[in-house]
């Protein structure tokens, strides 16, 4: 997982040419997967590493409402985001973005599970 996160960040930085005078931070959106304070703490080492290597500040922001994640991506002028399967598919369709990394589990596979649900009376 850490390797996938690092690869994603490197790709995001590589896709944005940075000049010495260009000091605007990279702003990366996060889907709230757990307690947001724990999530920020989890991403701090990655942020520090990338700031050192790229010479530009990296900030993370929580995209708190699933209903308008794509709109918030645009409104906040994000440089990138960590999206799940559904939001990633929507982003690819609606935004000029390109997926560069996917998470893999400890066994090296990249799969996800979901449910199709219907009303009982349907």
Q: What does pTM read for this prediction? A: 0.69
21 or 16, higher pLDDT: 16
Q: Over the stretch 66-81, which tens digit does the pLDDT of each residue have?
A: 778 899 999 999 999 9
Q: Which sequence spans correspond to the domains of the chain? A: 2-94
1 or 28, higher pLDDT: 28
Mean per-residue pLDDT, 1-16: 57
Q: How high is the pLDDT of residue 95? A: 92
Q: Return the CATH architecture of domain 2-94.
A: 3-Layer(aba) Sandwich (3.40)
pLDDT band at 20 (very low <50, low <70, confident <90, very high): very low
Q: Which residues lie closer than 8 Å to 74 by C-beta, 6 or more apart?
A: 95
| Closest by CA position to 5, among listed 47, 59, 54 | 47
């Amino acid at each position: 997982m850490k390797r996938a996160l690092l690869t994603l960040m490197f790709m995001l930085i590589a896709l944005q040419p940075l000049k010495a005078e260009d000091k605007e931070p990279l702003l990366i959106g996060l889907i709230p997967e757990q307690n947001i304070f724990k999530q920020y703490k989890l991403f701090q080492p990655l942020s520090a590493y990338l700031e050192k290597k790229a010479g530009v500040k990296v900030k993370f922001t929580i995209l708190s409402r699933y209903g308008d994640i794509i709109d918030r991506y645009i409104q906040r002028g994000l440089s990138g985001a960590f999206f799940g399967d559904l939001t990633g598919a929507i982003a690819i369709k609606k935004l000029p973005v390109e997926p560069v990394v996917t998470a893999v589990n400890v066994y090296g596979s990249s799969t996800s599970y979901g449910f199709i649900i219907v009303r009982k009376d349907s």
